[in-house]
Structure 1
Amino acid sequence: MENRSADYSICSEIRRNLESCILGKKVEIERLLIALLAGGHILLEDVPGTGKTQLVKALARTIGGHFRRIQCNPDLLPTDITGVAIYHPKDEAFIFRPGPVMANLLLVDEINRATTKTQSALLEAMEERHVTVDGESYALPMPFVLVATQNPIEFEGTYTLPEAQLDRFMMKISLGYPDAATERQMVLSPHSSAPADMLTPVANIERIALMMESVKRVHVDEAVADYLVRIVRGTREHNGVQLGASPRAAISLMAAAKANAFLQDRDYLIPDDAKALASPVLAHRIMLHTESRMNGLKPEDVIDTVVRETSVPVRMER
């Protein structure tokens, strides 16, 4: 009980740190923390200048993690991400020089500007938590969270992410523009250009790893698990959907729901945990029929309909 209270206190301090850096984005910060504690990856789709890089840097500094950033472009090679083995004549051996992927928080800026070959190099890191160079596998640091960004406006010179890669992102979120009062506060701040640099750590990687293990032990009643599965399966049965959420999506939703319960200082899951995260976890994994898109249907609309029509369990065992 004491450990849980201490963990909840640390999570509250992490929230305060991030909210002092990225103003007016409590929901988005909460979802980033959920992905961190659930061991998932984030796709940040937003226009430039909304604070995406500062948010990830702020999280890395707050938890004492190693942060690296990759700027994607068509010239980027897979080895620029994973690292390369270099021959040293003096030692008469190949020495592995790790790439930027060897970090706790990796920001991949404009991921859709990298070629498909380079994008595929990230698949192994995201799913297997290791990279392979010249036949040798190298484990990534733990925890490892990849936050990829893409601009929803500019598509010239980009390579659309395939469904297989989209499915490996636990959540897709957008920061959006701040309201007028928040933007006024930002421009008046003396540290508005680099607010993340002013933060001090309130946790360490070892403690975060322990909290991730605690998240896995959050109790899930069979009735709540059935409710979660029915939501995911409902996306496959909607008339406007060509491709519904995958079984991997169900696993991601369960992991995210557990992290949400943990952040609410609960050691058990309730239906609201799954309901609150259904849209950010499932929407980017759904492919609509062309006719549905032309009629203005959005994946978020599908999720809202499915959640609304899925009956909520009334009895649960703890």
Structure 2
Amino acid sequence: METSASTEEKKDLQQKVKQVYDEVGKVVVGQQYMVNRLMIGLFTQGHILLEGVPGLAKTLTVNTLANVLHLDFKRIQFTPDLLPADLIGTMIYNQKASNFEVKKGPIFSNLILADEVNRSPAKVQSALLEAMQEKQVTIGETTFQLDRPFLVLATQNPVDQEGTYPLPEAQVDRFMMKVHVDYPSKEDELEIMRRMSNMKFDNKVNTVLSKEDIFEIRKAINEVNLSESLEKYIIELIFATRDPKAYGMEQEANYIQFGASPRASINLNLAAKAVAFLDGRDFVLPEDIKEVAGDVLNHRIILNYEAEADGVTTQALIKTLLNKINVNR
């Protein structure tokens, strides 16, 4: 039976999390928002999809975070000629033993960076499905459990760029959050330029969190209190994406083809608890839910062609949604 972490233990864990931010900041300038979302995913077993144009330090940030954590890390560069076997492994014939042996692929690691995941065809992207959802892979007739923690952090370029493939909806839904990575500010870009043009720049970081720490943080997040009124608030938000007219959003109903799946309510619950924990609280506020709603919902609400024609974005719809739905206390 798991025991609850004491207040002092929780404070110690929260202090270590702050140290993670500090260590990542030694290498990555700005991008605190992206780092925060990666941490939420790590602590709630939620895979994260990072979207942004090339050169925004997506890969550098994930690589640095892996170095700060005491975890096995693999980077997989997704290319048009990548095969599923290159990802999960395959059976090879051993001539000496006259039998087939399993050669495990790079998916057998704690932290997977699927770099430019939308540059590979659907059959390769789909090879991630079992691993992401079931935390296991099947090679031949044998199923292998993946080490815990297991987290996929995928980066992708906007789908309108040449040589990219839209991710299958079934796979996109398995990502806890889809995070849009924007350009740095003028001040941050000035610091980036100074650091990266310095030949003596040292990108070494100290290891802060162990696997055991991560498991303890997960326990602490699980103990964060989410009131019944906020549970119902989450459900109302999700149902409003499926039947906007029932919530007084007549115009928005013309733009939504499919609403959010049940995974949205689960992940919104977990992400809000993680926000509360990272803020040093053992209870969730409505603001915690609103803070992560955009990233949890933006890839789960499917817009129709009319929305595209009228220039309506998913983020704009989510903003309207949050303004319309109130917490019933």
Q: Of residues 20, 24, 28 in structure 2, which corresponds to 1:14?
A: 20
Q: Counterpart amino acid of 1:255?
A: L
Structure 1 residues 79 and 301, CA, compared in 2 at 3 Å: closer, same or farther?
Answer: same
1:128 to 121, 134, 137: 134
Q: Aligned with 2:264: secondary structure?
A: helix
Select 1:284's aligned residue among 275, 285, 299.
Answer: 299
The answer (yes or no) to whether the contact 2:41–2:176 under 8 Å persists in 1 is: yes
**Contact persistence 2:113–2:152 (CA under 8 A):** yes
Q: Structure 1: how far apart are the matches of 2:74 and 2:185?
A: 30
What per-residue deviation string (whole Å, max 9, x for no partner) do you get for residues 269-316 of structure 1?
Answer: 2211111100011011111121122111111111111111111244xx
Paired AA for residue 184 in structure 1: L
- Counterparts of 2:177 and 2:256, CA distance in 1: 19
Q: Who is 1:274 aligned against?
A: 289
Task: Write the distance in 1 (CA, Å) between the matches of 2:323 and 2:308.
Answer: 21
Q: Which amino acid aligns with 1:68?
A: K
Q: How does 1:53-92 map to 2 (within 5 A)?
A: 53-92=59-98
How big is the shift at 1:113?
A: 1.5
1:137 to partner: Cα distance: 0.9
Shift of 1:163: 1.3
2:109 to 91, 103, 111: 103
Quick one: distance in 2 between partners of 1:273 and 1:305? 17
Q: Quick one: which of 275, 281, 287 aligns to 1:260?
A: 275
Corresponding residue for residue 187 of structure 1? 193
Q: Residues 157 and 164 of structure 2 are in contact (CA less than 8 Å); yes or no, is this contact kept in structure 1?
A: no
- Residue 85 of structure 1 deviates from its aligned partner by 2.5
Q: 1:170 aligns with which of 153, 167, 176?
A: 176
Q: How many residues align?
A: 314
The amino acid across from 1:4 in the alignment is K
Superposition map of 1:230-249 within 5 A: 230-238=236-244, 239=253, 240-249=255-264
Work out the CA distance in 1 between the residues paired with 2:256 and 2:11: 43
Look up the equivalent residue of 2:323 and give its one-letter code: R
Report SS of the residue matched to 1:183. helix
| Distance of aligned partners of 1:192 and 1:15 in 2 relative to their CA distance in 1, 3 Å threshold | farther
* Structure 1 pair 193–58 and aligned structure 2 pair: CA distance change class (3 A): farther
CA contact (8 A) 2:28 2:57 kept: yes
- Matched-pair contact (CA < 8 Å) for 2:46–2:176: yes
Distance 2:199 2:228 in 1: 48
In the superposition, relative to structure 1, how do residues 300 and 191 fare at CA in structure 2: closer, same or farther (>3 Å)?
same
The aligned residue for residue 40 of structure 2 is 34
Distance 1:153 1:116 in 2: 14
Q: Distance in 1 between matches of 2:222 and 2:186?
A: 40
The answer to whether the 8 A contact 1:67-1:105 is kept is yes
Q: Secondary structure in 1 aligned to 2:26? A: helix
Computed over aligned residues only, the root mean square deviation of the Cα atoms, in angstroms, reads 1.9
CA positional deviation for 1:191: 7.9
| Mapped partners of 1:197, 1:99: distance in 2 | 28
Does the 8 Å CA contact 2:27/2:203 hold for their aligned counterparts?
no
Return the letter of the residue paired with 2:72.
H
Contact between 2:74 and 2:109, CA under 8 Å: does it hold in 1?
yes
**Residue identity in the other structure for 1:216:** N
The aligned amino acid for 2:218 is: M
**Amino acid paired to 1:189:** R
What residue is the counterpart of 2:235 in the other structure?
Answer: 229
Cα gap change, 1:192/1:288 in structure 2, threshold over 3 Å: closer, same or farther? farther
- Per the normalisation by structure 2, the TM-score is 0.90
Letter in 2 for 1:170: M
Distance 1:131 1:23, change over 3 A: same
The offset of 1:2, in angstroms, is 1.2
Q: CA deviation at 1:196?
A: 8.4
Instruction: Report the Cα offset of residue 181 of structure 1.
Output: 1.4
What is the deviation of 1:157? 3.2
Aligned equivalent of 2:31:
25
Structure 1 unmatched ranges of 5 or more: none
- Alpha-carbon separation, structure 1, partners of 2:68 and 2:298: 29
* Post-superposition offset of 1:237: 2.2
Amino acid at match of 1:205: K
**Secondary structure of residue in 1 paired with 2:138:** strand
* Per-residue deviation, 1:153: 6.0
Q: Secondary structure at the match of 2:90?
A: strand
Q: CA deviation at 1:103?
A: 1.5
Q: Structure 2 regions of 5+ residues with no counterpart?
A: 1-6, 245-252
Of all paired residues, the percent bearing the same amino acid is: 39
